[in-house]
């Protein structure tokens, strides 16, 4: 499970991507084959369910791009469904405070960083990929390191705490 977007950022590169709001898995594949590094399935403003988002995530991975999901809110359910479907990370809109940002980490990271639940899902490679079969501690460490949780700071309250949130 290598997050290619995270790797590019860490290498000082600038990944290229876009938001995705069309209802076609073929379009998701084309974005990957066209050379985009990532796209964001927008379940906040777009017409997508968790089920349709999962199809777009699979299509993007098949085409070699890194799929992210902008979830509808910071709830445990919204974050876990996107990550369990195989998203490389989530963008959480309208984050209001440091406390909410901490909750996002609790929902999106495994022990010891958070409380994300574990299941045999596309996000775990159904326990069949090497990184997912190498022991639970190693699996959680790799997943925690590669999963990106991105808060969208859209309120004055969030801006007041932005330094702490970014840390």
Spatial separation of the C-alpha atoms in residues 135 and 24, rounded to whole Å: 36
Q: How far is CA 24 from CA 49, 55, 81, 89, 137, in A?
A: 13, 9, 20, 21, 37
Region 4-158: CATH code: 3.20.20.60
- pLDDT attached to residue 16: 97
- pLDDT attached to residue 130: 79
- For residue 125, pLDDT over 80 is answered with no
Cβ neighbours around 15 below 10 Å, total: 15
Q: Which of 14, 33, 45, 107 is catalytic?
A: 45
State the pTM of this model.
0.93
Catalytic: 14?
A: no
- For residue 148, pLDDT over 90 is answered with yes
Q: Where are the domains of the chain?
A: 4-158
pLDDT digits (tens, 9 = 90+) for 33-86: 999 999 999 999 999 998 999 999 999 999 999 999 999 999 999 999 999 999
Parallel/antiparallel/unpaired status of strands 148-153 and 89-95: parallel
Task: Note every long-range contact of 99-108, with CB atoms under 8 Å and residues 24 or more positions apart, other chains counting.
Answer: 100/74, 100/151, 101/151, 101/161, 101/165, 103/74, 104/74, 104/79, 104/149, 104/151, 105/149, 107/74, 107/75, 107/76, 107/79, 107/80, 108/79, 108/80, 108/83, 108/147, 108/149
pLDDT digits (tens, 9 = 90+) for 93-122: 999 999 999 999 999 999 999 999 988 887
Q: What mean pLDDT value characterizes the chain?
A: 92
- pLDDT attached to residue 123: 75
């Amino acid at each position: 499970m290598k997050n290619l977007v995270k790797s590019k950022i860490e290498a000082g590169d600038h990944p290229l991507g876009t938001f995705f709001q069309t209802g076609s898995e073929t379009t998701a594949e084309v974005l990957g084959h066209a050379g985009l590094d990532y796209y964001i399935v927008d379940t906040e403003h777009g017409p997508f369910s968790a089920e349709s988002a999962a199809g777009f995530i699979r299509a993007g991975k098949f085409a070699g791009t890194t799929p992210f999901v902008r979830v509808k809110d910071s709830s445990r359910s919204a974050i876990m469904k996107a990550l369990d479907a195989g998203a490389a990370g989530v963008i959480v809109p309208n984050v209001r405070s440091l406390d909410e940002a901490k909750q996002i980490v609790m929902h999106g990271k495994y022990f010891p960083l958070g409380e994300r639940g574990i299941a045999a899902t596309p996000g775990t490679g159904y326990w069949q990929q090497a990184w997912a079969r190498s022991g639970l501690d190693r699996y959680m460490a790799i997943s925690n390191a590669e999963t990106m949780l991105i808060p969208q700071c859209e309120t004055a309250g969030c801006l007041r705490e932005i330094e702490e949130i970014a840390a």
